[in-house]
Structure 1
């Protein structure tokens, strides 16, 4: 199946079976490769993301720890903002 056919197949599946998907944006090397919105949503729609933010923050903290930017989960957040006093 051609790439555009696969994309249409995914879009049809989302439109028919996944009313909780607002949109998909795919970036590669800083450039948008694909962007589409579903279920009456647009790029400007505001949606509730519930606990998705916690999951993303957890992933980012793990990456930062792996790269040595964060030494421990016990570090104080204010330590990352030297201009603030706590």
Structure 2
């Protein structure tokens, strides 16, 4: 990772889905976030579907989140038509 020219490190949705249960998922998300920050990168949580997941990611320090909680996928033309 140190030798790659990347600005963002994405955290797979399989870890995000289980983050609201105590255990491995939260530890993995915390670790990936810490590594990203140590390397000067931003951490992105994928597949966020609930407010609880978003709040936990914010508490952990994840920088960005994406997923159905914010918006479902849509055709690009429709996106631009509704974003004006």
TM-score by length of 2: 0.31
TM-score by length of 1: 0.30
Higher RCO, 1 or 2 (CA under 8 Å, sep at least 6)?
A: 2
The structure that has the greater radius of gyration is 1
